[in-house]
Structure 1
Amino acid sequence: MMLRTGAIWFGLLALYLGLAGQAGLHEALTGAIVAGLMTAWAGRIRGHAARRYAFPAGTLRQGGRALAGLLPATVRTGRVLLRAAVSGAQPGHALRRAFAHGPETDPGERGRRACAVLLASLTPDRFVLRADPGRDEALVHSLGRPGPAPDPRWLV
């Protein structure tokens, strides 16, 4: 418990310092206070949550993969939207993609599903419209031509 709390605090501090744009005593102190408040808030939410979430081992790898694909996806989106503005065509498609839902009672599967939907929706060229419980598919809106079928566990 203490190790997890420390890791959350350190991760939030690193995020704050990375986004601050400069390093100094003022940023470090402010970051430590903000990270402490956010860690306490996260702990309070976790303590009162009716459902538990856990993040499986592949979460960081998939998050890095999604972040690495942001620039190419942004370029594709700009190209598709520019082409649509010139031609007047509708560039979007709603696609059904395989999405392994997993057991509802497993906290690791809940965390994976939440991260998968979030990561797939953060890309500029697609977002998840619906991922219904009990169905092993997700409805995804995509700009441009549909690419290859993504990993059914992660949608990215």
Structure 2
Amino acid sequence: MRSECSGAHGYQFVCINRKDVQGFNHLLPEAKTTDPPAQCGLVCRSSQRRRFRGVKTVFNCSFGKTLLPTNSLVKAVPNGERDAYARVLAVQGALLSAICRLNIWVVSTGRRRRRRRRRRRRNRRRRRRRRRRRRRRRRRRRRRRRRRNRRRRRRRRMVHPRLPDPSILRRMH
């Protein structure tokens, strides 16, 4: 889902500690006002991201410290219980309001989608190849069967010549 906030690139949802929040306040103004043990922010995937190298982009819920990868923010919710999850997020009320305001439940950076497309293309090609091979095999088998059957028919004719009708023989004598 694309976020509606400014910036051409997708935003990622990260949870960062208070000391790291400085400098990101302009991205998530509500972050200043909240005071949970961990502060959350939206971090732009540009030069600022370098500060988070090695840190998996996670959503850190101060409610039992659940660490979830970015894109499983909603997927991780069992049976689509978004409301229950929203209540958990409400512990960090600012974060919830930011999510609602920016309309970002799952924030994608677009990379995975590209990979998926490539995979789909590959799979399609493979399927086509398999189908073609199967068709060819079937055709070959059919041709072989037809040839065999023709040969068998010919042989049968040779081995079992049909005798003329006995009544004809009687007439001839």
Q: TM-score range by the shorter chain?
A: under 0.3
* Higher Cα Rg, which structure: 2
